Amino acid sequence: MTDEKTVLVIAGPTASGKTALSVEASAIFGGEVVSADSMQIYRGMDIGTAKPSAADQRGIPHHLMNIVSPDQPFSVAEWHAAAKRVVADILARGALPVMTGGTGLYVNSLVHNLLFSEAVANPVYRRELKDMADAEGVDAVHALLTARDPESAAAIHPNNLVRVIRALEVHHETGEPMAVHRMRSRMEPSPWRFILFGLLPERQLLYSRINHRVDEMMAAGLPDEVHRLLESGYPGTLQSMQGIGYRELVAHFSGSCSLEEAVGQIRQNTRNYAKRQITWFSRLEGLQWVDPVQAGTDRILEQIRQALAGTSA
């Protein structure tokens, strides 16, 4: 049904049903799941990142999960290089790579075959920005990015200091916004054909799902997971600990807010993140949005089958 150059992408906001559909599609079409999630890369961070359990994975191979420790820096360039190796290996074995996740930067980097140049780097300037963050706070560094590259600033949360600094570094070295640099980095098209589906439930239903998922995470022991990470010596200032669900509970354990307030913030921040994900994926050329509730799993799988076969849905 597929050839040696086809990659299926199942994208969408958090709590839209990507994980279950990617496993079902893999089971039917002979696929293996490639995670495109910037939080699921971390070992020991399972509940808050909504990693599928062994039962949920149903024996389907899953790649690019649990590959680094929470204190290990990991860039989109490193994920991109690893994903290319994994996809090539899956295709070489005659299987279908099913890339799924909500990190738009990851998905975009592979679909558009972005080339990341380490030449655009200035360790001295990077150190200056880190010192600025220590002295004046991350919001001050983000404000600097807003002044110089408003598009990148709108897409990057102030707490994501690594990406904020990287965007400023690119602008400082090239005189161009990150988006322009990325456009220039598209040196050659990808060797693979991408079939892209985006899951998008009705907005209020999506928000209800998000709230329910947060409740499930709390019941499953997310506070214990965060507390264990802190007790293991991973400080709340780590990039990994700035993920939604982690930073709010770090604030709770530091005495900054009650547990109830932390849960409310997790819900709100997750809903806001879902909005940003929808906006990001809406710019991804070739992506076909489907409502998983209205269409139903069987209909979506039939659309995927027809797309893999090269026919119209």
Could you say which architecture CATH assigns to the domain 123-184?
A: Orthogonal Bundle (1.10)
| Percent of the chain residues topping a pLDDT of 90 | 77
Q: What's the pLDDT score for residue 118?
A: 55
Please identify, in words, the CATH class of the domain defined by 6-116+186-309. Answer: alpha beta
> What are the start-end ranges of the H helices in 30-93?
54-57, 76-92
Angstrom distance (rounded) from CA 1 to CA 254: 54
Q: What is the mean pLDDT of the chain?
A: 92
pLDDT in tens, 243-291: 999 999 999 999 999 999 999 999 999 999 999 999 999 989 899 999 9
pLDDT in tens, 226-241: 999 999 999 999 989 9
The residue that leads in pLDDT, 141 or 1, is 141
Q: What's the pLDDT score for residue 28?
A: 98
Q: What's the pLDDT score for residue 172?
A: 86
Q: Which amino acid appears at position 268 of this protein?
A: Q
Least confident of 38-52, 70-84, 185-199, 208-222: 185-199
Q: What's the pLDDT score for residue 130?
A: 92
Query: Distances in Å between the alpha carbon of 75 and those of 81, 82, 166?
Result: 10, 11, 10
Q: Which helix (H) or strand (E) holds 166?
A: helix 161-174
pLDDT in tens, 12-36: 999 999 999 999 999 999 999 999 9
Q: What's the pLDDT score for residue 186?
A: 58
First to last CA, the chain: 15
Query: Distances in Å between the alpha carbon of 176 and those of 12, 185, 187?
Result: 29, 12, 17
Backbone angles phi and psi of 120, in degrees to 5: -85, 80
Beta bridge partners of 7: 194
Angstrom distance (rounded) from CA 81 to CA 96: 19
Q: What's the pLDDT score for residue 184?
A: 63
Angstrom distance (rounded) from CA 306 to CA 251: 48
Q: What's the pLDDT score for residue 92?
A: 96
Confidence of residue 178 (pLDDT cuts 50, 70, 90): confident
Q: What's the pLDDT score for residue 188?
A: 72
Average pLDDT estimate for 130-155: 93
Strands 287-290 and 31-35 turn out to be: unpaired
pLDDT in tens, 42-60: 999 999 999 999 999 999 9
**Count of Cβ atoms closer than 10 Å to residue 189 Cβ:** 8
Q: What's the pLDDT score for residue 313?
A: 43
Q: Which of 285, 313, 131 has its CA nearest to residue 196?
A: 285
- Domain extent listing, the chain: 6-116+186-309, 123-184
pLDDT in tens, 103-124: 998 999 999 888 766 556 788 8
Using the predicted structure, report yes or no on whether residue 77 has a pLDDT greater than 60: yes
Q: What's the pLDDT score for residue 1?
A: 46
- Count of alpha carbons within 13 Å of 1, Cβ hemisphere only? 18
C-alpha radius of gyration, the chain, whole number: 20
For residues 92 and 171, the answer to whether their CB atoms sit within 8 Å is no
Average pLDDT estimate for 70-82: 90
Confidence of residue 185 (pLDDT cuts 50, 70, 90): low
Angstrom distance (rounded) from CA 248 to CA 23: 30
